[in-house]
Structure 1
Amino acid sequence: MTYVGIAVAILVVVGGVILGLLRGRGRSSVEDEREAPPLPGSPGPSDADLAPDGAIGTIEHPGEVVEEEPEVVAAPAPAPAPTVETPEAPAGRLRRLRARLARSNSALGKGLLALLAGGSLDDAAWEEVEDTLLAADLGVAATTELVAALRTRVAVEGATDEAGVRRMLREELLRLVDPAMDRSLADERVDGRPACILVVGVNGTGKTTTVGKLARVLVAQDKDVVLGAADTFRAAAADQLETWGGRVGVPTIRSERDGADPAAVAFDAVKAAAELEADVVIIDTAGRLQNKVGLMDELGKVKRVIEKQSPVDEVLLVLDATTGQNGMRQAEVFGEVVGITGIVLTKLDGTAKGGIVVAVQRGLGVPVKLVGLGEGPDDLAPFDPEAFVDAILD
């Protein structure tokens, strides 16, 4: 019995050792399978191996998911810089504007040529010529002078064919428009400072738009320009001017307060232009009726305040060509208050009354320097007397 007990004990011990070895080998194979990388071409992780948000993870323990590093999201690209426009050169504008002027004033030229080349120029015919010129807003004095000159030339030269009449009419009209007048703009630095242009006019003539278009004319000529938004009565005026300037890369000096002192804004604009070493600063002013004494006095103040820092080199009066002779009184009053040096005629394409050019120049003794013939941003151009007369007669 003793040997039998010993034998049983030995068998139990040996069996336990063998069982332990078998269990250890089983755990190792399971861990090896868990840690071994997947073979090429083997299927990816199952749905059970995905984290709740869809990220791929490895299950180490029940209920625990180890997520991979999140994907780095690139920062959004910066917004592109605003595009600065390149304005059309003045030479190209003149060709285009001449064609428009010819269309709008064709009735004037055709009517005169038909009357003068009709072959029978009696007193009634000359009266009709005179009426045609008066209807074109040439003015009484200029009309009387032109008709007298034409009657003399027709009598002396005896020209009644259209070519001869056209030549005479062109020469006499050109003499009235006066090509000898200085139509240059003050757009160059003077004595180390920017030139200063003050733009004035009555309500509704398009001053702010004209200032914006004038900036484009000067930028096309490679000038460094600064704009001054001294129209502080219209809430949208400064915004409008800033938009015009921004399109061609021109800074606008303005006040953020509605109703600010326009003279102070103008002063700041001239000062800023000097600091920026600009070629020219253009000051926009509020529209005002010529019969409002208080408003006209304020305009005079704007000019005086500017002159404490810099001379005003140019005062441009913006006139609506469609107002005809009514614009003459406006021009006279503004001339008395701020000393007009040049005229800008807007909306010249909207009237056949091209004679207003002559009337304004003769009445004020100052030249028409710029004309507007459309709503486009580049529909403002320097006035060319010969192109103007030729357009009337085309």
Structure 2
Amino acid sequence: MTHTAVDVIRTKRDGHRLTDDQIDWVVDAYTNGVVADEQMSALAMAIFLNGMDSTETARWTKAMVDSGEKLTLDVGRPTVDKHSTGGVGDKITLPLAPLVAACGAAVPQLSGRGLGHTGGTLDKLESIPGWRAQLSVDEVVAQLRSVGAVICAATTGLAPADKKLYALRDVTATVESIPLIASSIMSKKIAEGAEALVLDVKFGSGAFMKSPDQARALATALVSIGTDHGLRVSALLTDMSVPLGNAVGNAVEVAESVEVLRGGGPRDVIDLTIALADEMLSRAGITASPRDVLASGEAYETWARMIRAQGGDPDATLPTAKHKHLVTAPADGYLTTLDAYAVGVAAWRLGAGRARKEDPVQPAAGILCLAKPGDRVTKDQPLLELHTDTPDAIPAALQSLTNGYEIGDTPPPITPLILDTIRG
């Protein structure tokens, strides 16, 4: 059947479902330049306003997978991946990938860079001297066989339709669409070739999804798509109202991740790492105790081998900031609020993140949270330590933190880090 972009746009504009043939045609035609950006912009807005049902979303995902290559990961171990929807201080991939590999799985973690207030895994790892993000497919497979874990940039051949559409959605106010978000995430993960996938779907001020209900809807859509494509999928709903761990930035998050791998680190980072590892191993069919493996030091040894395999020096001194600034408590009491979004924006303004994809980041920029909600603090006690190489950025960072923390007379209620788990 011959289609036109106008007919496909009209179908969705008028609230009808797109046929499989329409979806296959329009995704392929857009990838190859037959459908123009302005036409796909109109279709994306129609989808944003009128949605897609689960069948349409699954087909849209398949069409994006089929737009490029699909990896075959024959590496001699069960393969399982993890994806987070992004947050502040979310360095979990760094200790998690080597931990799960040390338990016997292969973890092909194709990651991205930060944009705005959310950090990027590749930006963090690039603060390690010599480490490189760009690997060929052959290098990825070889490292999975020899080490069991790889964290690297996605190859350009995976889901090129998604790369093109993602950039368009970013400039046309059509990002916040669950079908388009879900198909974007899952097209890359399906093309990656892992047999199982665990998703960390975050909610709260520092997350893309602000409420648990929004996060649950996205998680359900992600699990449904993965199951339809033959993956063993789970999704954890996790709270991102408060920064995860004590470090927010690049080198500071690497340092905290290494601390976890060596048996220390903040309790919330440890707990979420173990919970995700348990779920990943279960999905991969492996019986092992990640807590015991973490305590044994094997996960740290796997981390060191993974970093060396990509040209990095795990023993090298990490970059440190040229300028530091303390934010202190204005009164005695309990720290009742530490807003993840405010801290994330402040870290971004200090140089830890970027406003545009082509912007550079400062490896040493970031924030150390010296107190967390529930802690008893005294007047003038340090709450936050700001790190940057550009001191002119500090006033803007402090402005971002206005109303980002509060001191009260009573401790705040304790809320669970993990709200629920959804399994396919």
With structure 1 as the length reference, what TM-score do the two structures score? 0.26
Which structure has the highest helix share of the two?
A: 1
